[in-house]
Structure formats: C-alpha cells, structure tokens
Amino acid sequence: MLVNGARGNLISIRDRGLLYGDGVFRTFTAIGGHASHWPLHYLKLKHDCAALRIACPEVALLTTELRELLASHPDGVFKLMVTRGIGQRGYTPPTSSQTTHLWDISSLPADLPEWAIHGVKVRVCDLRLSTQPQLAGIKHLNRLENVLAAGESTDADIAEGLLCDAAGNMIGGVRSNLFLVIRGVLVTPDLARCGVAGVQRDRVMAWAKARGFAVQVRDITLDECSNADEVFLTNSVFGLWPIRELGENSWHQFPLASQIRLDLQGDQS
Amino acid sequence: MLVNGARGNLISIRDRGLLYGDGVFRTFTAIGGHASHWPLHYLKLKHDCAALRIACPEVALLTTELRELLASHPDGVFKLMVTRGIGQRGYTPPTSSQTTHLWDISSLPADLPEWAIHGVKVRVCDLRLSTQPQLAGIKHLNRLENVLAAGESTDADIAEGLLCDAAGNMIGGVRSNLFLVIRGVLVTPDLARCGVAGVQRDRVMAWAKARGFAVQVRDITLDECSNADEVFLTNSVFGLWPIRELGENSWHQFPLASQIRLDLQGDQS
C-alpha cells in the first residue's frame, strides 16, 4: 500500500476522490513478480486522467513504485488510483492541485480457472445505465451504478450481471466488457454513451485486427446477444470468460472465445 | 474533524466512499453555535442512506458528535458524510459492513449578503445531466457531473451554473435547487430522473404550503425559465439567491423571492 509514494493506507477526508469520486483507477494482476500489461494500463490511466483534466503522474514514477511493490508482493490484484487531490471547498476543480495517487494490493481471486474454461452463468441486471457522453468509457470513481447493479443478486452461481442502457442496448458486464461472435465476426458494444472501455477489450480488438477478424463496435440488443454463436466477457483480473447460460439460452462450445483466451494468456507482456 | 467519532482527518483507502463514491453527504451552516435545520438534514441523510441501503448512524450519536464540534467550532460550514465503509474487493455491497461517518468543518463563505439581496448572474452549463431514476434526488458521492459542469467557466461574476438534462429540461444549479415564479405560482423541477433534492427546496415548498401558495413540481424548459416573473436558487449554505441575469434576460425585482428568503432566514430551527 502506497499513498503518494509513502507506505500507508490512509487518505485525507478532503481528497476529492472521496468527496466527489473525482478520479480514475486501474485494476490488474501480478503473477510471479510480473504485472500484466502495465504499459497498456498506464496508457489507459493517462487517457482517463486527460479526459477529466487530471494531471497523471509520470510513467517513470509509477513504474518505480510498481517495481517496489512487486518485490514484496509478487502475486496479487493491484489497484492504482489517481484523484484530483485536495482543493478548496466546492465542486469547481482547483487550477493547481497536487493529484493523489495510491496503490492497493489484494490477493488473487480463487474461482477463475473453471469459469474461464467451461463458461459462466450471467443475468441481465434490472438497473439501466445512464447516458453521459462526457464520462463514457472512462474508468472513473463514480461507480454507484455498478454497486447497485452488483447488489441486485446474491446468487453465487451467477458470475456476472449484464448491463443495458435505458434504450435496451447491451453495454457490458458490471465489471467486464462484452463480446459477441456472430458468423465469425466479433461484435462489441459502442461505449460512446456509457460503460467502461477496458484494457482487455482493447487487447481482444488488437488480437482480431492482427488475425484479420472483423470487429464491429455498435449497438447490440439483448436478442442479438441471446442468439449469438458465442458470447464472452473480458476484464483485466479474470481475463476472458465465455458465457454458458443467459436466461433460457445456453452455450456449450466456445471455439473462438477459447482461442482468444489462450492467445491473450500466452502474451503477458 | 471527526472520523467514526474520533478526532482525525484520514480515512482508509479501502473505504467504499473513495473506491466507488458509495455514500451520501449533507452540508449545512452553523452560526453562533447553532446548526441550521439539523433535524431536517438528519431526515434527509437517513432517507438518502435508505435509498442506497446504507445503515444510517442513529440520530442520537450524530447529534452528540455535532454538539461536541459546535462547542469548538460555533461558526462554519459543516459537512457530514456517511459511506458504506470497508468491504471485500469488488462492487458487490457487503452484507454486514460497518458504515463510516465523518464530519468536516470549513469557514463560512464571504460573498453571500450582496448576492442574496441583489441577485446573481448565472449561466447554462454545456454538460447535460444523465438520467438515473435509482439515484435521482439523492445527495450521493458520485458528483463528477457537478465537477465537470463547475469547471466549464472560470468567470468570477457567474455565481452558479444551471443544469439541464439531455431532453433540455432544467434540473437545477450545479450546487442548488431552482424555483420559478410564474403568475404567483412557484414552479420547481421534477427530480425523479436526475438532480439533488435539497433541504432548502423542501423548506421553500413547506413555506408555500403554509401560506397557501401553489407549487408545481414538473418539467421546465429554459424558455419558461427565461420568461418567468422571478427565478431563484436555494441551497443550505447560501440560503436563497434570486437570479438577476441569465443570458440576455435580466430581472431587477424579486418580491416573492425576497419575502421567502427573509422568512426562511427568520426560522433557523
């Protein structure tokens, strides 16, 4: 645990990250002292900071801190947060605040291997995501919609909830991105109005591009999702989960999803 | 500054208030050792906690802490925050977390008397509020929309920004509620889809009810706002500000707004 470079697990109650959710974060895994896709995570962090006009710490600083943490915590889930720091009272962003950056580490989750291979059961959440083009795609700290959606079900068999917007477009999972395979084409939701664009989503799209697979980024209905040849979820902690059950629909084979999963696992740069 | 009843100004980096904005808050003033409308603020806090299924601390506990703070800080802006506390990693709300509650105190702002009497200049923000019925009205910690809207203008003459939703309905100010006077009727935005329902808004409505004034809670267009006989803003720190300038429209007299302001000021229970 590092807060602005110093060992510690506390933050000021005047930090705008707490007051307003005025910040962004990344979550990724480390295994055997190697942090998965750190360069991609840093790029995304920088992009998200820029979208909120928060000054992102330099890559050299964060990489040094990450190395220090990996030396004592070679395996775990790493969370990196950057907030706009402490300002005067009120919503107006301070013109010259010192941003806050902090690291937290948790143990790796236990349930992954089986779900990744045999697929997961998912449900559609009741909550409908709101539409805010200025925040869409960004992994910011305003996550109450995800909290409410995650709290809808306590069924331990359900690995993830799927989220739609008010118009009924599928946007993704509560903590993951969504892909469909329809006649050999990869289809993933357009995240211009809501949702979070994750690093694993980018990696799947890069995978497809490198292999000549077509990718469509567009609006998707629940019906299309239910009738797709394969459906899968991605995030930076669990990697890739095929969906085996959604409502009355079930899938038993995931040839393309499995291939992508293995290829992405093989590239841990 | 009290955090869970103890002197301090720090909070865990694992608190869900920071991680997800998973909490609610109140802001109000104290003058001469008296906190304005504390019972109303507690009721609203309890209501907002219930809406997010967060266990609200008991009124006796919070009142005791408030009295302790007032003894050493008789004048100031008091902020009270309640979060869902610390849970396991992930969005899912823990079934039995200890909520966090904390107090912060700032000095009273300086610019109020003139603006309250002669009115303020406001602008319409570019940002359009998103629509989320499950969070509408609640003063929760997901306030990035307010931050972005407040950051749109650095013009010190502009006291407040007005916010619309994507359909063009006026919702309120960045940190205030909005009222129109149209032929003797008070009109205020419907906050069922977005916005924050403040304690001062309730007080204005109670004032109107007690005096037989009609109040309409409904959708309002910018046009109606611009053509209203009077327009005013309310919040628990500045009380009531009439609007004197909005785009090309200006107002020079605010008979009803001034009467309401004086009556509300006179009742500091």
Mean of pLDDT over chain A: 96
List the single best residue of B1, B7, B19, B99 to mutate versus A (max A Cβ within 10 A). B19
Chain B CB contacts of A19 below 8 Å? 25, 141, 143
| The predicted structure's pLDDT at residue A269 | 64
Question: Cβ of B13 and A77 within 8 Å?
Answer: no
Interface confidence (ipTM) of the complex: 0.97
Q: What is the pLDDT of residues A72-126, one digit of tens each?
A: 999 999 999 999 999 888 999 998 779 999 999 999 987 667 899 999 999 999 9
Q: Could you tell me if B104 lies within 8 Å of chain A, comparing CB atoms?
A: yes
Q: Which two tokens stand for residue A136?
A: 């869409």
Within 8 A by CB and 6+ apart from A237, the residues are: A27, A28, A29, A77, A109
- Of A197, A171, A140, A166, the residue nearest B132 (C-alpha): A166
> In terms of C-beta density within 10 A (0-12 exposed, 13-18 middle, 19 or more buried), how is residue B157 classed?
exposed
* Residue A267 backbone phi and psi in degrees, to 5: -105, 95
Instruction: Please report the pLDDT score of residue A65 as a whole number.
Output: 98
With a cut of 80, say whether residue A268 has pLDDT above it.
no
Chain A residues with CB inside 8 Å of B12's CB? 9-11
Question: B-contacting residues of A 115-144, CB under 8 Å?
Answer: 127, 130-132, 134-135, 140-144
Give the chain A residue nearest B149 (alpha carbons).
A92
- Is A102 in the B-facing interface, judged by CB distances under 8 Å? yes
Distance CA B64, CA B61 (A): 5
pLDDT digits (tens, 9 = 90+) for A153-182: 999 899 999 999 999 999 999 999 999 999
B248 Cβ partners below 8 Å, 6+ apart? none
**Distance (Å, rounded) from C-alpha A165 to C-alpha A172?**
10
User: Hey, how many other C-beta atoms are within 10 angstroms of the C-beta on A134?
Assistant: 15
Distance CA A227, CA A244 (A): 12
Give the number of C-alpha atoms closer than 13 A to the C-alpha of residue A251, restricted to the C-beta side. 27
Instruction: In whole angstroms, give the CA distance from residue B198 to residue A183.
Output: 52
What is the full DSSP assignment across B10-66?
EEETTBHHHHH--EEEEEEEEETTEETTHHHHHHHHHHHHHHTTPPPPPHHHHHHHH
pLDDT at residue A61, rounded to an integer: 98
Distance separating alpha carbons of residues A85 and A80, to the nearest angstrom:
14
The confidence score (pLDDT) of residue A112 equals 62
Residues of chain B where predicted confidence (pLDDT) is lower than 50: none
Around Cβ B39, how many Cβ atoms within 10 Å? 12
CB contact at 8 A, B254 and B230: yes
Per-residue model confidence as pLDDT tens digits over A34-77: 999 999 999 999 999 999 999 999 999 999 999 999 999 999 99
Contacts of A158 in chain B (CB under 8 A): none
Which residues from B are below 8 Å from A25, CB to CB? Answer: 19
A-B contacts at Cβ under 8 angstroms: 155
SS3 for A80-131 is EEEECCECCCCCCCCCCCCCEEEEEEECCCCCHHHHHHHCEEEEEEEEEECC
Structure tokens at A64: 């040094």
The tokens of A139 are what?
A: 């992994």
**How is A182-240 classified by DSSP, letter by letter?**
ETTEEEEE--SSSSB--HHHHHHHHHHHHTT--EEEE--BHHHHHHSSEEEEEETTTEE
% of chain A surpassing 90 pLDDT: 93
- Pairwise CA distance, residues B122 & B250, whole Å: 10
Q: How many CB atoms lie within 10 A of CB B256?
A: 18
Contacts of B104 in chain A (CB under 8 A): 13-14
Q: Do B135 and A142 touch (CB under 8 A)?
A: no
How confident is the model at residue B269, as a pLDDT?
Answer: 64
Question: How high is the pLDDT of residue B87?
Answer: 85
What residues of chain A lie within 8 A of the CB of B9, using their CB?
Answer: 12-14
Tell me what pLDDT residue B46 has.
98
Q: Does residue A168 contact residue A225 with C-beta atoms inside 8 Å?
A: no
- Of all residues in chain A, the one with the smallest CA distance to B84 is A147
What is the Cα–Cα distance from B224 to B138, expressed in whole angstroms? 26
Query: Exposed, middle or buried, A123 (CB in 10 Å: 0-12/13-18/19+)?
Result: middle
Q: Is A225 within 8 Å of chain B by CB?
A: no
- Cα distance between the two ends of chain A: 24
Number of H helices, E strands in chain B: 8, 16
Q: How many other CB atoms are found less than 10 A from the CB of residue A163? A: 24
Per-residue model confidence (pLDDT) at position A266 = 84
